[in-house]
Amino acid sequence: MSESDVDSLSDIDTDAKSEAERHPSILLVDDDLNLALDVANSLTKRGYLVSHAATAPDGLTQARRGAFDILILDRMLAGEDGLTVLKILRQEAMGKPVIILSALSGVEDRVRGLNAGGDDYLVKPFATDELVARVEALLRRTDSHRATLLQLGPLKLDLIDRRVWRGDREIELLPREFKLLEYFMHRPGQIVTRKMLLEDVWQYRFVPETRLVDVHVSKLRRKIEAADEPPMLLSIRSAGFMLNAPT
């Protein structure tokens, strides 16, 4: 195990996040109780408040009360279409982020889900860590996309001239490495899963070898972490990666 590896999600210090924010609350609408329990456990462990609804009408009532930061919505709710619930909520100007869970993996299904107002679409079955990572990504979505200069600790990214520095040292990156680093810089301190990288950076939905992502990340890591510099880009076992300011 290399120095930058972190063994699991639960090892990661969540203080930085919870200090700045109140405990975010999550509304989970899913009729699969086993899955709901699993997800609720993982999210509670990470400091979230989770409320649960098992049916579409119950979900709609709870959602209208508005006491949540993120809605996790199963697409198929005991014979009812979760997308209908989502459409109603969006018509009522509910602007909070929504993650759709679905057993339907087709491209069209995904597009339909996102068109109905979903911010993310996760195909069942999934690893709970993957869902947790997506929840965090949505909660911490910032306006950094409009910035032209990104900075995290000593790391500086000039998005106009496409140049990168760590402290005074300028780092030469290939275009694809720059794109990858930019993605991490927009999500400081967040878990970024392999799936997220494949989908967002390379626009892949299916790749025969997920080790590909590791190869790209480790190449990038070698460039931004010189031998004497403290690690910034961590591998989080079973979940993905995280870019942090060095402590």
Partner 1 sequence: MRLPDPLRTSIFRLTIFFALGSAATSLVLFAFIYWQTAVYERDRTASLLAQEVAAVSSETDIDLRRAVASRLESDIHHVAYAALFDAKGQLIAGNLASIPPGLEPDGVVRSVEVDRDSKNGDRTITQQRILAVAKRLPDASVLLIGRNIDELRNLRSVVTRSLLLGVIPALTLALFAGAFLSRRFQLKIIAANQTLRRIMRGNLHERLPVADKADDFDQMAVSVNQMLDEIERMVDQIRGAADSIAHDVRVPLVQMHTRLERTRTQYQKSGDINAIVDHALSDLDVALGMITGLTRIAEIQDDRRRKAFTTVDLAEVMRSVFDLYEPMAEEKSLTFTISSGQPQPVRGDADLLRDLVSNLIDNAIKFTPTGGTVAVSVAENTAARNVVARVSDTGPGIAEQERGAVFERFYRSTTTQDIPGHGLGLSLVRVVCDLHGFDIRISGAAPGATFELICPSLS
238 binds partner 1 per the rule CB under 8 A: yes
- Kindly tell me which residue out of 110, 195, 216, 221 binds partner 1, with binding defined by CB under 8 A: 216
Q: Rule CB under 8 A: choose which of 3, 19, 161, 209 binds partner 1.
A: 209
Instruction: Identify whether the C-beta of residue 129 lies closer than 8 Å to the C-beta of residue 239.
Output: yes
What residues numbered 146-165 form the site for partner 1, per CB under 8 A?
none
Site residues for partner 1, window 18-47 (CB under 8 A)?
34, 38
207 is an interface residue for partner 1 by CB under 8 A? yes
Q: Is 193 helix (H, G, I), strand (E, B) or coil?
A: strand
Rounded-to-5 percentages of helix, strand, coil across the chain: 40, 20, 40
One symbol per residue from 186 to 205: x for binding partner 1 (CB under 8 A), - otherwise; what is it? ----------------x-xx
In the sheet with 5-6, reading across from the earlier edge strand, the strands are 5-6, 233-236, 240-243, 192-193
Q: Would you give the end-to-end CA distance of the chain in angstroms? A: 20
Q: How far is CA 129 from CA 51, 81, 226, in A?
A: 18, 25, 30
Q: Is 139 in the site for partner 1 (CB under 8 A)?
A: no
Helical residues (DSSP H) of 2-116, grouped into ranges = 15-20, 33-45, 56-65, 82-91, 107-115
The least CB distance from residue 175 to partner 1, in Å, is 8
Q: Which residues bind partner 1 (CB under 8 A)?
A: 7-8, 10, 34, 38, 103, 105-107, 124-129, 176, 202, 204-209, 211-212, 215-216, 219, 238
